[in-house]
Amino acid sequence: MGFLDVLRGKRALRQPTEDRLFAMSTAVVSLEDAGLAPTGKAAMVFQPLGTTDFDQIVSDMVEVLNMTGEEAGTTIDARDDTFGYRWMVLSDADFDDLVVGLNAVNSALRDGGYGDRVLAAVFAFRDRQRRAVRFIYNVKRATYYPFVPAPGDQQRDNTRELQLKAQLEGDLPIEADLSRWFPLWGAPI
């Protein structure tokens, strides 16, 4: 079976494995050993589509997260940014609940046929100096990369990002192509 079979619907394209999103649940121990503390916030960012079907999927997803969040202590907040992306921001003191919640968002969009609209999952941390450190999960590539904003107007601490890559590539599937380490400025977490 080849490319034409995929076009004819005889064979589905391979999707990234969800297991890699859950790698963050075990890697958080190594992140803490590296001096990073979870902030209790994480987010899934996707490009919304103005259709009734898409709106219903998002509405159902928020309802499920709110219901399960009452039990787990997770809160959810939807925010749109200036680039037209929607951020589903989850807050919870239990880091595993954040990972499970983001997986639920990703799964709902993918199962509804809108997996191609998902950009990334973002996990917020602080280092020992209380500086922001983000770990971004590129959903389409099923890889992580660190993003460390530096003081100044949209500056990055590339040295710290490479240090984190070296420290954590045994614990997380780190994106090898540094040109794919896209910053997410203004993330609401």
Flag whether 188 is in a domain: no
- The domain containing residue 79 runs over which residues? 17-176
d(CA 164, CA 158): 10
pLDDT bucket at 71, cuts 50 / 70 / 90: confident
CATH code, domain carrying 129: 3.30.70.1130
150 occurs within a structural domain: yes
pLDDT surpasses 70 at 13? no
Q: Is the pTM of this model over 0.75?
A: yes
Distance CA 33, CA 76 (A): 28
Q: Is 75 exposed, middle or buried (0-12, 13-18, 19+ CB in 10 A)?
A: middle
Q: What percent of the chain has pLDDT over 90?
A: 62
DSSP states along 131-177: -EEEEEEETTTTEEEEE-EETTTTEE-HHHHHHHHHHHTTTS-B-S-
